[in-house]
Structure 1
């Protein structure tokens, strides 16, 4: 009885310490986001005095009005939305089709293809060969530079393939008896039953497309094709925020600063992913668990 009570007490203490530890981790993870949000909602000139940690001292939306009044930001936001939607759809469909072919045991040379693909997970040609290839393909200063180079991922293929192998062969055999070809089987049977893994890969690639600033910085010179993350990078790294302040109306410009505009831009660019992610998280977890255990 004594040993049982001691063991139970140790477990309770461990659980409480674990709760405290996780709360501390959550605080250090979430507070920087809260700090940025609070300061972006404060009067810009007042925020420069410092001392704002938990709640706005002079509540104001003027920094957000200044951001949305800038045509360059709105155009960059449109480019980001377009490349995220188009890029995610193309990537998921193309990678799923290739993975479906790889999951067929009758595919000739499947092991050789898998070995070659595995090498690409660890080694790449580097930035200079990639740039030369993009240039020779005519993708510089083109919207399709966001889509074509990343329309396939071998890592995502492995995730798709593990899921497809769990689908009963009887579904395909029944469809073939009804006269369906491989493409119709893939479109009408494989994809509908693969929604968990499709949502997982869509979340992966959608977040990548939304957060990608490097592609626009390296391959795009036209301002009208820059995504919001590249635009944000230049606002933070250069003096673009001062130019944005100069473009705002006189009433708003009195209550904003270059720092408050930077913070408001960060919030605006991060908000869509923060909103969408919780709704797709359940598919994210399920997509990785399915296929890991065979029953």
Structure 2
């Protein structure tokens, strides 16, 4: 008996060791590219062009970050990104929740038809050219609203909201109706206040999407460059500049010969990623709860 327990203990210990090694390798593969970008962003540009910087800066320098924040285009793009992320997330969460609430009621007239149409949109779309022509007819080209209106609603997020709303006891709504509350008041006063976990989850999903979205700016912002978000600006920096090219700043700003487009790209990546990384830990507990919505319960 003792030999059997000893073998099981050794087997569990071996499994734990292998598991830890695999997880350590996966963590390293995931985190090292981020560390590489951060390290090179803090290194002297001309020195970084030589290569060989892997673990820490060889010649520490803040010149790349000074260049980033000295460029008014980057600052404007950063402000556009913050604005569209905040406004877009708030409107998306509220509108999607407002649509999901009545659809979570099985006695809603036409519910099956609405659900069928919504499911079809999850798998099929009109394509880029029809979408562009449609946005043009709606005067969304070169318009800040192109970041907000098309992203107001997501059927995928609606399904998550519906699953959560069905977990709320019907007795709460019945008691509110007895007290004289209508459906709108019940939704605003009761349902939304009880839905913080799923609201935080959807807000995180959509907030990250809005923050990282560069494609919308590339396609639909043509003439008004001041409406470009930071991710689109970063995309243009990456695609248009070579690794060793010196950065030319705006008129009236001195050119720093110790800065290259490569280090500015790295610095811009850090600046654009840092805010969303800081927000995630505060929403993580709600995110985990929201992801469990609709899970099979034993």
Q: TM-score range by the shorter chain?
A: over 0.9
Structure 2 vs 1, CA of residues 84 and 143 (structure 1 numbering), >3 Å: closer, same or farther? Answer: same
Deviates more, 1:26-35 or 1:172-181: 172-181
Q: Which residue of 1 aligns with 2:65?
A: 64
The alpha carbon displacement at 1:46 in A equals: 1.1
- Identify unmatched segments of 5+ residues in structure 2: none
**8 Å Cα contact 2:246/2:260 also seen in 1:** no
Q: 1:9 to 1:132 in 2, by over 3 A?
A: same
Which residue does 2:7 correspond to in 1?
6
Shift of 1:249: 4.5
Note the C-alpha offset of 1:178.
Answer: 1.3
User: Does the residue aligned with 2:34 lie in a helix, a strand or coil?
Assistant: helix
Instruction: Give the one of 225, 228, 240 matched to 2:227.
Output: 225
Partner of 1:198: 199
Aligned to 1:19: 20
TM-score between both structures, scaled by the size of structure 1: 0.96
* Residue aligned with 2:248, SS: helix
Q: Deviations over 1:23-56 (max 9, x none)?
A: 0000011000000000000111111121111111
For residue 248 of structure 2, the aligned residue among 245, 249, 264 is 245
**Which of 256, 259, 281 is 2:259 aligned to?**
256
C-alpha contact (below 8 Å) 2:89/2:203 kept by paired residues? yes
Shift of 1:113: 1.0
Structure-2 residue corresponding to 1:281: 284
Distance, in Å, in 2 between the alignment partners of 1:249 and 1:137 is: 39
Closer/same/farther in 2, CA of residues 143 and 3 from structure 1, 3 Å limit: same
SS at match of 2:172: helix
User: Structure 2: how far apart are the matches of 1:6 and 1:282?
Assistant: 38
Contact preservation (8 Å) 2:247, 2:260: no
1:271 to 270, 274, 289: 274
Contact preservation (8 Å) 2:100, 2:161 = yes
Write the deviation string for residues 67-102 of structure 1: whole angstroms up to 9, x where unpaired.
Answer: 000000000001000000000000000000000010
For 1:249 and 1:92, locate their aligned partners in 2 and report how far apart those are by CA, in whole Å: 42
Provide the C-alpha distance between the structure 1 equivalents of 2:39 and 2:148, rounded to a whole number of angstroms: 35
Equivalent residue runs for 1:129-148 within 5 Å: 129-148=130-149
Partner of 1:207: 208
Q: Across the two proteins, how many residue pairs are aligned to each other?
A: 294
Q: What's the CA shift string for 1:84-141, capped at 9, x where partnerless?
A: 0000000000000000010112210111111111111111111111111111111111
Q: Is there any run of 5+ residues in structure 1 with no aligned partner, and where?
A: none
SS in 2 for 1:192: coil
Structure 1 segment 81-120 matched on structure 2, within 5 A: 81-120=82-121
Contact persistence 1:70–1:244 (CA under 8 A): no
Shift of 1:290: 3.5
Q: How far is 1:255 from its partner?
A: 2.1
CA RMSD of aligned residues (A): 1.6
Determine the structure 1 residue equivalent to 2:157.
Answer: 156
Question: Following TM superposition, by how much is the alpha carbon of 1:281 offset from its aligned partner in structure 2, in angstroms?
Answer: 1.6
Equivalent position SS for 2:27: helix
